[in-house]
Amino acid sequence: WWCERGGCGNCPQPLYSILTEVGFLTVVSCSNPCILFFPARIYRCWHIMKNIVVLISGRGSNFKSIYETSVREYWEDRYGIKIAGVISNIADAAGLEYARSSGIPNCVVDHKQFPTREAFEKALIEKTEGYGADLIVLAGFMRILTFVFLDRYKGKILNIHPSLLPSFPGLHTHQRALDAGVRIHGATVHFASDVLDGGAIIGQAAVPVFADDDADKLAARVLTQEHILYPIAVRLCATDKVRLVGKRAKMDLEASKELAIL
């Protein structure tokens, strides 16, 4: 955060400062170099904000959990990140109503109005760029993305999948987990890639599988963990604590501990 607080006393130029975690303004430059400390009373600030754009197709429960976490944890003030827009390819997606009620800019890009996937994605990119997207979050977005979109935001697209990848990519994951007799199931956040559910794994949350489970019971248990895992992954990626390097997600020890939910 760059802040202007009037002159420093040594020169008539504005004093540009950084708000530190301990709540003080540290002067880093003016016409006469100096380092001073002031109480954290900010007169004017320009946030170096990173914008998250969420893509949905339905109810947007993961979008809702991300947004509510961002408000509860003061992401905009603490980390300089915010949800700048929500885009749906379905006009009556329930998640859009939640976005409207929360005051989040939103729009519809209906894939049925375009002759090809590529044409749809070019229109989608116009909207994401309009929201100044630094990070794309897929939250129940039911379209397979092509190179047009993936290349534009390489290493900046997150997806969540209801299984412990690489096990059970694709659809019907909960029933397939039951059919396979696994004792542990869960959810995975990963970078989107041109391989369906095959991008670099960012984080995972595991749940037990019980003898009386059916697909609905198991899905509900996994969804609860999705709502915990996805906001953590979004925050860490938006703040560059997790990055795509080659074909792997790179992170420090602290981030790795947050992203392993057992």
From CA 210, how far away is CA 217, in angstroms rounded? 10
Whether the pLDDT of residue 42 is over 60: the answer is: no
Of the listed ranges 41-45, 60-64, 178-182, 218-222, the one predicted with least confidence: 41-45
Whether the pLDDT of residue 156 is over 50: the answer is: yes
Whether the pLDDT of residue 106 is over 60: the answer is: yes
Who wins on pLDDT, 77 or 1? 77
- Other beta carbons within 10 Å of 76: 15
Q: Supply the angle between the helices 173-180 and 215-238 in degrees, to the nearest 10.
A: 120
Whether the pLDDT of residue 3 is over 80: the answer is: no
Interval 248-259: pLDDT, tens: 999 999 999 999
Q: Catalytic site residues?
A: 161
Strand 24-29 relative to strand 14-19: parallel, antiparallel, unpaired?
antiparallel
- Other beta carbons within 10 Å of 185: 27
Express as a percent the part of the chain with pLDDT over 70.
Answer: 82
Question: What's the pLDDT at 37?
Answer: 44
Select from 92, 173, 87, 94 the least CA-distant residue to 137.
Answer: 87
Average pLDDT over residues 29-54: 56
| Mean model confidence pLDDT for the chain | 88
pLDDT confidence of 162, banded at 50, 70, 90?
very high
Question: What's the pLDDT at 48?
Answer: 75
Average pLDDT over residues 206-217: 98
DSSP the chain: -EEEEEE-SSSSSEEEEEE-TTSEEEEEE-SS----EEES--SEEE--PEEEEEEESS--HHHHHHHHHHHHTTHHHHHSEEEEEEEESSTT-HHHHHHHHTT--EEE--GGGSSSHHHHHHHHHHHHHHTTEEEEEESS--S---HHHHHHTTT-EEEEESS-TTSS-SS-HHHHHHHHT-SEEEEEEEE--SSTT-SPEEEEEEEE--TT--HHHHHHHHHHHHHHHHHHHHHHHHTTSEEEETTEEEE-HHHHHHTEE-
pLDDT confidence of 165, banded at 50, 70, 90?
very high
Of the listed ranges 39-48, 150-159, 186-195, 226-235, the one predicted with least confidence: 39-48
- pTM for the model: 0.83
Whether the pLDDT of residue 221 is over 80: the answer is: yes
DSSP 49-70: PEEEEEEESS--HHHHHHHHHH
